[in-house]
Amino acid sequence: MNIFHALILGLVEGLTEFLPISSTAHLTLVSNFILRIPNNDFSKTFEIFIQLGAILAVLVFFWKKFWRLEMIKKLIVAFIPTSIIGLLMYDVVKGFLFGSYMVIAWSLLIGGCAIVLFELYYNKKFFAKNDPEKISYKQCFFIGLFQSIAVIPGVSRLAATIIGGLWLGLKRETIIEFSFLLAVPTIFAASFFDLYKSAKLITPSQSGLLIIGFLTSFLVALLVIKFIMKYIKKHNFKPFGIYRIALGLLIVLLLLF
């Protein structure tokens, strides 16, 4: 991996982390199909670490809301099921599922269909209050369960929480904002857990690549968050679901032929 690769992957992470299209899927496809980067322990760690840049963007954008006591307590409740499942599945995901094109393809397809179906049948009369702090602790726990599905490569964390939130009767704007905030402890914990296990394998030159990817991800993610918060006021996520289905089908066709 070189500086150019780090910049491109940081750009991809920043663009896709807060869209319901799976940043992991796009990082894997760009890294392996386009950039032809060897699929080794460092490349996997790099793709996890640069998510911290996107998380910093969330903290900058939602600084005041994140540090409210009530919000912190609800984020902890939502984070508990995700952290338990993530720890139990870590070795399986990184050792076997991470980088599997077929797993990614089917995750994109199934997730895309789920988004389209939920948007088609989602009835606005069931909208809850628009303040994320009004989400109940029970709803927070179930949102955390839905988010844990995203340990599977290709399953978007944002898409999983959106579907979970809509299923619980929350307003689209509410679940999007809560999902952004929930990303902070979730991705922070995943990144540092991975670094703890992989730190000894990272060389000084590779540390520079991590920093480049981190900064690129942060700057791009900040722009994407601003975009998506405006987008959801007038639009739904059906186009992203259709995009996921098309990309999933394309990957399946490439693998088969």
Mean pLDDT of all residues in 76-91: 83
Over residues 185-243, the pLDDT tens digits come to 888 887 777 777 666 667 777 788 889 999 999 999 999 999 998 998 888 889 999 99
For 191, residues 6+ apart whose C-beta sits below 8 A from its C-beta are 48, 49, 51, 52, 55
What is the DSSP annotation of 60-120?
A: HHTHHHHT-HHHHHHHHHHHHHHHHHHHHHHHHIIIIITT-HHHHHHHHHHHHHHHHHHHH
User: What is the phi/psi pair of residue 156, to 5°?
Assistant: -70, 130
Over residues 153-181, the pLDDT tens digits come to 778 888 889 888 888 888 888 888 899 99
pTM confidence score: 0.83
Q: Which two tokens stand for residue 189?
A: 């914990």
Q: Within 10 A of 226 (CB to CB), how many other CB atoms are there?
A: 12
User: What is d(CA 99, CA 153) in angstroms, rounded to the nearest whole number?
Assistant: 8
Helix (H) or strand (E) segment spanning residue 189: helix 172-198
pLDDT at position 128 over 90: no
Torsion of CA 84, 181, 53, 79, to 10 degrees: -10
* C-alpha Rg value of the chain to the nearest Å: 17
pLDDT class for 94, splitting at 50, 70, 90? low
> What's the burial of 255, exposed, middle or buried (CB within 10 Å: 0-12/13-18/19+)?
exposed
Mean pLDDT of all residues in 54-72: 90
Going from N- to C-terminal start, the domains of the chain cover: 3-256
DSSP, collapsed to helix, strand or coil, labels residue 178 as: helix
